[in-house]
Chain A
C-alpha cells in the first residue's frame, strides 16, 4: 500500500497530484496526520513545490473549469479525516479523464467529492438555526459551537445582515477560532487562550423562558425521539440552551 504524507495545504495536495502523475502511480491513502509505519506500507513524504504546482493548476482550470480552485478550497473545510483522499481522488480522475467529470455521479470519486462539498453547506445552513447567542456585559452577544467542518467565518455574513449594529462573537470551540463583529467590521482570529464570558443578569431569565417555551410547545401524544434526533443530532446538544440540563 502506498501512502503519501503531505503538509495538509491545498498547495501540498497539488504537489501530491504532480508526484502521482510524474511517477505514474496512484497512492492508496493521502494524509497530513501522523502515519504508522508497517510492513506492507510504503510511505512517501511530499514536499510542496510551487513551481510544479503551476502545471497542475493550469491543467485543472482547463479541464474542471474556472471555479475549481474555489471549490477545492471550500472542500478543505470539511472535518472528515478522509477528506484529503476524497478531494485527491476527484482531482486525479479529472486529470486522468482530461475533461470535466463533476456531473459523472456514477463514479464513486465524484459522488464522494459532491458529498464533501454538500456536507459543509448543509452544516452552515443548520448552524444558522442552531447557534445560540448569550447576552454579555457590554452588550455583546456570544455564541459557542463545535461544528464538524471549519465554518465559523461562513456564519458571519448571515448574522451581520440580520443583527445590523449589535456586536457579537461566534466561537468555534473545537478549533478555537473566533469570528468577531463589532457592529461595523468583522474579523476572524485564532484563539490563543481560554476565554471568560460575563453574562448579564437577565440572560439567565431569558434562558429559562426559552426552556419553558421549548417544553410547552411539545405535543407529548406525538412523541418521536428518533425523528427528532434525525433532525437534531445529539452531538450538537451541548451547545443548545434548551437541551442542556440544569448546570
Chain B
C-alpha cells in the first residue's frame, strides 16, 4: 500500500501537467467489473488554485534520466525521488474510486532508465488495472516519446485518452530547453495514434481504441514565441492530428537561476487568453488568422472575441430580431446558449432591450454591437468601446480600498463631511 510520503512526492511531481478532464468516453461497465465513464466528465473537487480534480494524477516514478530545464523533475534538480509499484497504483485507484473521490487515473512518469523501459511499466499498470482489478473507469495515459510503436498502440486498446506533450511551441525552443527530447520523437507517435484513431472510427462504430482521443500540452511563457505562433500551431495540431484538446500550461519557475527561463510566473493572464482563443477556434468556428496576427500577442485588456469584433466593426451592428444564429454568436456577450434563447424567444414576438436583460444576455458587451428593433444603445466610437470593455475586465489587480486609506477619506469618515 502506498504511504503518505511517497503519495505526496509523486503527486507534487505530477501537478504541472494541467490536462485533467475525464470527458469524451462513454465506457460501459462490465458484469463483474467496477466503474464506467461519463461522457461529459465529472469534477470531483477543486483545488485552491481553482482547477478541477477529476482523476488521480500521479507519476509512476519521478526519478528521471532527462534534464529538461523547465521541469521540476529534471535530473539536476535536488528533490526527493520516489517510485510506486503497479499494484500500489492499482490499489489506490480502486479505493479512491469506490469512495467517489475520482473518475479514474491520469498516469505519467519520468523517464526511468529508458523510454521503452518506462513505457513497458506504464503499460503494465494499465493492463493490470483493466484485466485483474476489473476497472472500467477513465484512464488517461501519458505517452512516452521515442518508445516502441507497438507498445504505444497496445496501450490505446486499454485506455480512454493518451497524450504526448509537445512541451514547447517551436523546435528551436525544444532543442534549447529539452535537448534529450526531439520533435520527431514526439510527433511520430502522435501521428500514428491519430491515424489509428481515425481509421478505427470509420470502420468500427463502437471505437475501442482511445475513445476519448488524443490531447497535448505546451508550456507558455518559458520561451519567446508569440501568441500568434502558438494559436497557429494549435490550429495545425487540431487539423492534422485530430486532437481533442490542446492544453496551455503557464510556466511556473522551479528553484533555479537559469538564464534561459523567466524567474517569476508571468504567463497566467496570457494562458487565460490562449484558452479563450482556443475556445473560439474549436466551438465558434474562428480561424487562427482571424483571431491574431502571426507575430502578435493576444491583447491582455480585452478577450479575443471582443478584440476581433472591434477590428471588424463593418460587420456590426446586427439586428437581434432577424440575424441568423451563426451571426449572433459572433457578437461579444452572446454565446451559444444566448443565441439559442434569442432564436427561440423571438418566435413569440419581437424582442425588446428589457427582454434581453431578462434573458441574461451580457449587454455590457453586446450593446455596442447590436440593434434591437433598429435602435442602437451602445457607444458609437470604437476607441471608446475598447476603453469601456477593458475597464470591466480589470479585476486582476484591483485592491480592496480600506475605509481609512487616505487622510481625506479618514477625516471624512470621522466628521461625517462628504
Binding site for B on A (CB under 8 A): 101, 103-108, 111, 125-126, 128-135, 141, 143, 158-159, 161-164, 166, 206, 208-210, 212-214, 216-228, 231-232, 240-242
In the complex, which residues of chain A have a beta carbon less than 8 angstroms from the beta carbon of B47? 214, 217-219, 228
B46 adjacent to chain A (CB < 8 Å) = yes
In the complex, which residues of chain B have a beta carbon less than 8 angstroms from the beta carbon of A219? 15-16, 47, 49, 51, 252
Shortest A167–chain B CB gap in Å is 12
In the complex, which residues of chain A have a beta carbon less than 8 angstroms from the beta carbon of B33? 164
Docked complex Cα distance between A94 and B54 (Å): 42
B93-129: which residues lie under 8 A (CB-CB) from chain A? Answer: 95-96, 98-101
Main secondary structure of the interface of B (DSSP, over half): loop
- On whether A105 and B252 interact (CB within 8 A), knowing A129-B45, A218-B49, the answer reads no
Q: Tell me which of B4, B52, B355 contacts A212 (CB under 8 A).
A: B4
- On whether A221 and B265 interact (CB within 8 A), knowing A164-B29, A209-B7, A228-B47, the answer reads yes
In the complex, which residues of chain B have a beta carbon less than 8 angstroms from the beta carbon of A213? 7, 11, 56, 96
In the complex, which residues of chain A have a beta carbon less than 8 angstroms from the beta carbon of B53? 214, 217
B317-344: which residues lie under 8 A (CB-CB) from chain A? Answer: 341, 344
Binding site for A on B (CB under 8 A): 2, 4, 7-8, 11-12, 14-16, 29, 31-36, 38, 40, 42-54, 56-57, 92, 95-96, 98-101, 137, 250, 252, 265, 268, 341, 344-345, 347-349, 351-352, 355, 358-360
Verify A129–B345 contact, CB threshold 8 A: no
Docked complex Cα distance between A133 and B95 (Å): 10
In the complex, which residues of chain B have a beta carbon less than 8 angstroms from the beta carbon of A242? 45
Q: Tell me which of B50, B98, B99, B250 contacts A231 (CB under 8 A).
A: B50
- On whether A106 and B355 interact (CB within 8 A), knowing A209-B4, A219-B15, the answer reads yes
Verify A231–B52 contact, CB threshold 8 A: yes
Q: Which residue of B lies closest to A166 (CB)?
A: B98
In the complex, which residues of chain B have a beta carbon less than 8 angstroms from the beta carbon of A111? 358-360
Verify A105–B358 contact, CB threshold 8 A: yes
In the complex, which residues of chain B have a beta carbon less than 8 angstroms from the beta carbon of A231? 43, 46, 50, 52
Docked complex Cα distance between A221 and B11 (Å): 16
Q: Tell me which of B14, B42, B341 contacts A105 (CB under 8 A).
A: B341
In the complex, which residues of chain B have a beta carbon less than 8 angstroms from the beta carbon of A132? 99-101
Among B12, B345, B360, the most chain A Cβ lie within 10 Å of the Cβ of B345
In the complex, which residues of chain A have a beta carbon less than 8 angstroms from the beta carbon of B98? 133, 135, 141, 163, 166
Verify B347–A210 contact, CB threshold 8 A: no
Q: Which residue of A lies closest to B338 (CB)?
A: A105
List of 8 A-B pairs having minimum Cβ-Cβ separation, nearest first: A227-B50, A106-B355, A216-B11, A222-B49, A103-B344, A224-B50, A105-B345, A218-B47
Shortest B313–chain A CB gap in Å is 28
Verify B99–A133 contact, CB threshold 8 A: yes
Verify B92–A135 contact, CB threshold 8 A: no
In the complex, which residues of chain B have a beta carbon less than 8 angstroms from the beta carbon of A108? 358
Shortest B306–chain A CB gap in Å is 21
Docked complex Cα distance between A231 and B50 (Å): 8
With A164-B34, A214-B45, A218-B47 known, 15 other A-B pairs at CB within 8 A are: A105-B359, A132-B100, A133-B98, A143-B100, A161-B29, A206-B99, A209-B92, A216-B7, A216-B11, A216-B15, A218-B15, A219-B47, A222-B51, A222-B268, A231-B52
Docked complex Cα distance between A206 and B46 (Å): 19
In the complex, which residues of chain B have a beta carbon less than 8 angstroms from the beta carbon of A141? 98-99
In the complex, which residues of chain B have a beta carbon less than 8 angstroms from the beta carbon of A125? 40, 42
Docked complex Cα distance between A214 and B14 (Å): 13
Q: Tell me which of A106, A126, A209 contacts B2 (CB under 8 A).
A: A209
Q: Tell me which of B48, B265, B345, B347 contacts A218 (CB under 8 A).
A: B48
Docked complex Cα distance between A125 and B7 (Å): 29
Shortest A94–chain B CB gap in Å is 12
Verify B252–A221 contact, CB threshold 8 A: yes
Verify B29–A162 contact, CB threshold 8 A: yes
In the complex, which residues of chain B have a beta carbon less than 8 angstroms from the beta carbon of A225? 48, 50
Docked complex Cα distance between A107 and B344 (Å): 12
